[in-house]
Chains A and B, each alone.
Chain A
Amino acid sequence: MYQKNIENGYITSIVKGVNNGNITETEYNQIMSIIDNRPIAPEGYDYLLKDNLTWKLIKDNIAK
């Protein structure tokens, strides 16, 4: 089974192999495909994945 976790309108994780799923395999594969084609953020920025499966560019002010 598959699971999607959302916080404040953004997808924080998707999970495979759970006992308590909340999305279908089709939706999981769709999200994985979007993650695999993640845009490259400029230095000092990062992308968040919104629940509507679009990316939002944000300023990343925490050291990596």
Chain B
Amino acid sequence: MANKLYDDTSVKAIADAIRAKNGTTNTYNISEMATAITNIPTGGNCYSVDITFPTRLRNGVILTLPSDVLAHKDDVNFLMTYQFQGDTLVNYRSYFASVGNKNISYNSDHNKGVYYYSSTYGVCYYPINSTDGKFTQEGAYKVKFYIPADGKLYISEDLGAGLDVGTYKFTFIW
């Protein structure tokens, strides 16, 4: 195999492009780049981050989103999932939610499901119930996620637990 010289600016640009696609901060040797590119998911886009809250967050800024995610926040298929990374099942939550112009709700008694929006702070039904697999009506606590013009993801809650102290993995898919 012949050794060649390449502009390191170009090599860094390739690495930056890989990181932008796979949403990581990994560093790559040239020999690792082909594998990293092969492993980039196709048929969709995904942006995943670990968010830590020092205080239970019921109302406020969760995340400042990058421009490539913001460009799709109003897409009909734009989804957000979030999952608490703690050890206790009491605090385990994993949700699929539509963000942007849609309001979503969750029930603190359930730890996973797909949430369907019906009205602001209104009744919300979700088709997957981790307990019995049936459609179940929304409970007492209602939470709204929204992304206004400043490009930040906010949480706004009526009453209830909000986002616990600790680390969540938030994933955006479009």
Contacts and interface: CB of A to CB of B under 8 A. Distances in A.
B52 A63 contact: no
A9 to B, nearest CB: 12
Given A14-B54, A35-B165, 18 more contacts: A3-B64, A6-B61, A7-B60, A7-B61, A11-B54, A12-B60, A12-B62, A16-B50, A16-B51, A16-B52, A17-B50, A19-B47, A35-B54, A38-B165, A46-B56, A62-B58, A63-B160, A64-B56
Q: Which bracket fits the contact residues of B? A: 20 to 34
Nearest to A48: B55
Contacts of B56: 46, 64
Interface of A: 1, 3, 5-7, 10-20, 22, 31-32, 34-35, 38, 46-49, 62-64
Interface of B: 19-20, 23-25, 47-58, 60-68, 152, 159-161, 165
A15 B62 CA distance: 9
Chain B interface main SS type: mixed
Contacts of A16: 49-52
